[in-house]
């Protein structure tokens, strides 16, 4: 296996992407929930969600036809990311808590 960290970061290494995955792991699944939680611009959120679906971390599922509304659910690959989130949280708490920013 060559460059596994680089390949992984190409899919989830952007700040918003990791925060979206954290939100899904915490039970949020809908566009408006992500936007409210993160304060992210709609165009950025749309792009990140699309990239997560293409990367196979999220699955897009329609929950309303009128108006057309989708939710985003974790795939097994996305579920497997839980450990990464837990480790980032543990590391951050150990080295950067309380956060001065």
Instruction: Provide the whole-model pTM.
Output: 0.86
Asked if the model's pLDDT at residue 98 lies above 60, the reply is yes
Q: Give pLDDT tens digits for 11-70.
A: 888 889 999 999 999 999 999 999 999 999 999 999 999 999 999 999 999 999 999 999
In a domain, 32, yes or no: yes
- Domain range spanning residue 8? 4-96
In a domain, 101, yes or no: no
Q: Residue 64 maps to which CATH number?
A: 1.10.10.10
DSSP E strands in 1-101: the ranges are 58-64, 69-74
The residue with greater pLDDT, 42 or 95, is 42
Q: What's the structural domain count of the chain?
A: 1
- Give Cβ neighbours of residue 29 (< 8 Å, ≥ 6 apart): 71, 72, 73
In a domain, 60, yes or no: yes
């Amino acid at each position: 296996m060559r460059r596994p960290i680089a390949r992984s970061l190409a899919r989830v290494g952007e700040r918003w992407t990791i925060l979206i995955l954290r939100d899904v792991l915490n039970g949020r699944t809908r566009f408006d929930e992500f936007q409210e939680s993160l304060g992210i611009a709609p165009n950025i959120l749309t792009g990140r969600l699309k990239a997560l679906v293409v990367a196979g971390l999220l699955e897009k599922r329609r929950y309303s036809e009128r108006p057309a509304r989708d939710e985003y659910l974790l795939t097994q690959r996305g579920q497997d990311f839980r450990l990464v989130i837990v480790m980032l949280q543990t590391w951050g708490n150990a080295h950067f808590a309380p956060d001065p920013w």
